[in-house]
Amino acid sequence: MFEEYHPDMSCASWGIRFAASLDGIITVLSGMSNTAQMEDNLSYMKQFRPLDEEEQKIIREAQKILGKSAAIPCTSCHYCTEGCPKKIPIPEIFSAMNKQLGNGQIAEAVSDYQKATGSGGQASICISCGQCERVCPQHLKVTEYLKQCAAKLE
């Protein structure tokens, strides 16, 4: 939907413009991993334009669709992995699981899981210490999701 309406806009641009368009917001923080992402952010924030009514309608429609999704809503920020005592690659495991949950791609999900955990860090070795959940900006029940991933992908 986003690409169809604005093929030149990134998903990040939609998200940041949505947040910056809300009443009372004076600053929007964006996680960036490389120069290309920084340049993308700067491209639409230099001369900021709030979302118009049609763009807000598209956002509302996307929210409805995502609200029905069975996928794990992990944003791959990796905050959870930095303090994991078992060095579990949580975002990569969730990404693999989402292939099964979101698209029914079971073989691909298992393959991606095996790639992510090939040198260790399987979901089943989680000790449920909760460190990951304390730092998750999405407030995910990470340990519960890891148990589901272990049951389906191992």
Cβ atoms < 10 Å from Cβ of 126? 23
What is the predicted pLDDT for the residue at 31?
81
User: Which stretch of DSSP H or E encloses residue 117?
Assistant: helix 106-117
CB 1 within 8 A of CB 7: no
What is the predicted pLDDT for the residue at 11?
85
pTM of the entire predicted model: 0.64
What is the predicted pLDDT for the residue at 128?
97
What is the predicted pLDDT for the residue at 62?
86
User: What is the C-alpha separation between 69 and 6, in angstroms, rounded?
Assistant: 23
User: What is the C-alpha separation between 62 and 60, in angstroms, rounded?
Assistant: 5
Is residue 116 exposed (0-12), middle (13-18) or buried (19+ Cβ within 10 Å)? buried
pLDDT along the chain (154 residues), means of 10: 90 89 89 88 87 93 78 92 96 94 86 95 97 96 97 95
Residue closest to 102 by CA, chosen among 66, 70, 150: 70
